[in-house]
Amino acid sequence: MYNEVCKKYLSLLRLLVQGSFAVFCLWVGYRFYRFFTWATVGGDYVSRPPAVEAFLPVGALVSLKKLILTGEFDRLHPAGLTIFIAALVIALLFRKGFCGWICPVGFIFNLQEILVSRFRRLLHPPKWLDYPLLSLKYLLLAFFLYLIGWKMNIKAIEGFMRSPYNLMVDAKMLLFFLHPSLTALAVIGFIFLVSFLLRNFWCRYLCPYGGLLGLLAFLSPLQIRREHSLCIDCKKCESACTQSLRVAQKSVILDPECVGCLECVAACPISGCLNLSLLGRKKVSLIWLPLAVILTFLLFYLVAGWSGYWQTNIPDELFKRIYTLAIRQMR
């Protein structure tokens, strides 16, 4: 009964949670813009929001390697590393819950899909095209893992972290969005256009971050399970699946593309046919997955803030100099 109520409001809950994180990210972006303006042209001081580092996953991967090799936590972009580790832990424990419930980019494409599907059905490419396309994000991921995980020794890591590029990377990202090049506009436009045709184009085929989380999610003890005996083969779960997975043909969904959005369970008309399960046995109430994802994420934030590993130790005066240099480099 309780699960049935959860099923009814699940899509709405997901939109609300994703939307709240997206609004928070917009607020972070605005605060960072104000800080950047203060640092480069003056005006009212606004402190730099550490959460802006969430958008620097490559730097976070470098910091993670340093943490593993030396035990030292990055003090330059600590919030970025905290958020990265939180996303990895969430993937290990609760599938790709970061993608399904938190990531604002996923939310944008989720909204786009909701809007487009009012007018037309989004396509899913045939297997001969789907598999090569799927390999793109894993190739990108392999490239980063090779470059950072394999090739970079501690000296190279230290050099990268102290480099002006690493110190100004948040400003470079802002400048990228404020003054996008024609190539960048063409690439972003292409991704959006293709997303009007193919379901989840960016997340499914191109995002290496999602690829990494998907690989970790293989180890997650939480799974979607289907009871053969109850299934009426209506395929409503497959139509609802945000990742176009063949839910109605499997007993357990172990696919690395599964983002734990639970839309399949919400769409299933037969009570108890699709379930969230722990280690393939114990049935778990649906609400626990989003709750666990959000609470884990907040726990990382609180612990980092409490222990002093959230705020950067770069002084504002250095940001002033380094951001001015970023503007000069752009011209």
Residues lying near ligand SF4 in the complex (CB under 6 A): 99, 103, 105-106, 203, 207, 209-210, 224, 226, 231-237, 240-243, 245, 247-248, 253, 258-264, 267-268, 270, 273-274
CA–CA separation, 22 and 52 (whole Å)? 12
- 49 vs 211, beta carbon nearer ligand SF4: 211
Count H helices, E strands: the chain?
15, 4
Work out how close the CB of 238 gets to ligand SF4 at its nearest, in angstroms, rounded to a whole number: 7
Between CA 79 and CA 196 the distance in angstroms is 34
Structure-token pair, residue 250: 């499997």
Q: What is the smallest separation between the CB atom of 97 and ligand SF4, expressed in angstroms?
A: 10
CA–CA distance, 119 with 132 (Å, rounded to integer): 28
Q: Which is nearer to ligand SF4, 38 or 209 (CB)?
A: 209
| Amino acid letter, 133 | L
Nearest residue to the partner ligand SF4, using Cβ = 210
Task: Tell me whether residue 168 or residue 224 sits nearer to ligand SF4 (CB atom).
Answer: 224
Query: Least distance to ligand SF4 from the beta carbon of 194, Å?
Result: 14
The answer to whether the beta carbons of residues 188 and 109 sit under 8 Å apart is no
Name the residue nearer to ligand SF4 (CB basis): 110 or 312: 110
Q: What is the DSSP secondary-structure string of 87-135?
A: HHHHHHHHTTHIIIII-HHHHHHHHHHHHHTTTSPPB---HHHHHHHHH
Instruction: Look at residue 174 and give its three-state secondary structure.
Output: helix
- Give 215 or 325: the residue with its C-beta nearer to ligand SF4: 215
Q: Nearest distance from residue 44's CB to ligand SF4, in Å?
A: 33
> Closest distance between ligand SF4 and the C-beta of residue 102, in Å?
8
CB of 148 to ligand SF4, least distance (A): 18
Q: Is 47 exposed, middle or buried (0-12, 13-18, 19+ CB in 10 A)?
A: exposed
Least Cβ distance, residue 163 to ligand SF4 (angstroms): 26
Burial class (CB in 10 A: 0-12, 13-18, 19+), 115: exposed
Nearer to ligand SF4, 23 or 154 (CB): 23
* Nearer CB in complex with ligand SF4: 233/317: 233
Q: How far is CA 174 from the centre of its chain?
A: 19
Element (H, E) at 274: strand 274-278
Q: Which is nearer to ligand SF4, 64 or 258 (CB)?
A: 258
Dump the DSSP string for 304-326: HHHHT-SS----HHHHHHHHHHH
In the complex, least distance from residue 13 CB atom to ligand SF4, rounded to whole angstroms: 14
What is the spatial order of strands in the sheet that 252-253 belongs to?
252-253, 222-226, 274-278, 282-284
Q: Which residues of 274-283 are buried (b: 16+ CB within 10 A; e: fewer)?
A: bbbbeeeeee
